[in-house]
């Protein structure tokens, strides 16, 4: 079954770090670009950027540079999102989402992980 | 802050039709394809429409997409209670060099 399975919910204190995993199954991770999308509870979707799973080269959207890092473990078919120096405003559900092609003018996400809730609270 | 604007909510009776608008600019909708996603309560978004008017395998033809100028529209016919969800549009924005999503629309079945 083709799916993306993400790691579970995390509760972190301000200033800590978190690493969210996204395991691809049913297809080869390196065949598709992977994006990350943030959703603050009760709000809309924000595109965070993507990682080229063939080269490991990440691209970050404005507002997601510096503290956010996309990475891969291709041997484990897994993509990662790490957030450092966590702030309360980082509290959100983070989704990994697969891009079926690399044509940006036709950007769309055909497969989504179930989401990982990261809560930042003292 | 979302670049694409959608109405906060739309509603209709079971079996009726609703349309959801997504307003953008020449930087996004006007010159790029549009996608639409359905997010049922407590679940991840699901692709409904891509390349403005194409449906992925498994998506019923009750769902349709179209575009005119800098606005796109999602149509849902034969509305069912299972269609109650949040719907988001999405596109590439060439000025921002980023993917952008709409503000989201909650569909209610009366």
Chain A hits for B46, Cβ within 8 Å: 112
Instruction: Suggest the residue from B4, B40, B44 to mutate for an interface test with chain A (most A CBs closer than 10 A).
Output: B44
Determine whether the interchain pair B47/A107 forms a contact, defined as Cβ–Cβ distance below 8 Å. no
Contact between A53 and A36 under an 8 Å Cβ cutoff? The reply is no
pLDDT for the residue numbered B2: 80
Which residue ranges of chain A lie beneath pLDDT 50?
none
The DSSP secondary structure of A96-117, one letter per residue, reads EEEES---GGG----EEB--EE
| A93 min Cα distance to partner chain B (Å) | 10
Q: Count CB-CB contacts under 10 A for residue B65.
A: 23
Task: Return the percentage of chain B with pLDDT > 70, whole number.
Answer: 99
Residue B1, pLDDT > 80, answer no
Determine whether the interchain pair A104/B90 forms a contact, defined as Cβ–Cβ distance below 8 Å. no
Q: What ranges make up the beta strands (E) of chain A?
A: 3-6, 10-12, 18-25, 33-39, 45-51, 58-60, 68-73, 78-83, 92-99, 111-112, 116-120
The model's pLDDT over A77-107, given as tens digits with 9 standing for 90+, comes to 999 999 999 999 999 999 999 998 888 888 9
pLDDT for the residue numbered B40: 97
The model's pLDDT over B55-102, given as tens digits with 9 standing for 90+, comes to 999 999 999 999 999 999 999 999 999 999 999 999 999 999 999 999
Query: What order of strands is seen across the sheet that includes strand B18-23?
Result: B18-23, B71-76, B63-68
Which residue's structure tokens are 């940006």? A104
Determine whether the interchain pair B104/A62 forms a contact, defined as Cβ–Cβ distance below 8 Å. no
**Strand partners for A34:** A51, A98
pLDDT for the residue numbered A31: 94
Element of type H or E holding A62:
none
């Amino acid at each position: 079954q083709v799916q993306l399975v993400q790691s579970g919910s995390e509760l972190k204190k301000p200033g800590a770090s978190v690493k969210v995993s996204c395991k691809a199954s049913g297809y080869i991770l390196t065949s598709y670009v992977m994006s990350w999308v943030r959703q603050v509870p009760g709000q809309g979707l924000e595109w965070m950027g993507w990682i080229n799973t063939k080269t490991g080269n990440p691209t970050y959207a404005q507002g997601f540079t510096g503290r956010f890092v996309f990475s891969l473990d291709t041997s484990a078919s897994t993509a990662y999102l790490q957030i450092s120096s966590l702030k309360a405003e980082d509290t959100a559900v983070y989704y990994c989402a697969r891009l079926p092609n690399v044509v940006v003018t036709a950007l769309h996400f055909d497969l989504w992980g179930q989401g990982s809730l990261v809560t930042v609270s003292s | 802050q979302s670049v694409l604007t959608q109405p906060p909510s739309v509603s209709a009776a079971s079996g009726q039709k609703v349309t959801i608008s997504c307003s953008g600019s020449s930087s996004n909708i006007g010159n790029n394809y549009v996608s639409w996603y359905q997010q049922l309560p407590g679940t991840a978004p699901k692709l409904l429409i891509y390349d403005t008017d194409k449906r992925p395998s498994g998506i019923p033809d009750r769902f349709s997409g179209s575009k005119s100028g800098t606005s796109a529209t999602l149509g849902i016919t034969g509305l069912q209670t299972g269609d109650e969800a949040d719907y988001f549009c999405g596109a590439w924005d060439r000025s921002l060099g980023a993917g952008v999503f709409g503000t989201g629309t909650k569909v209610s079945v009366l």
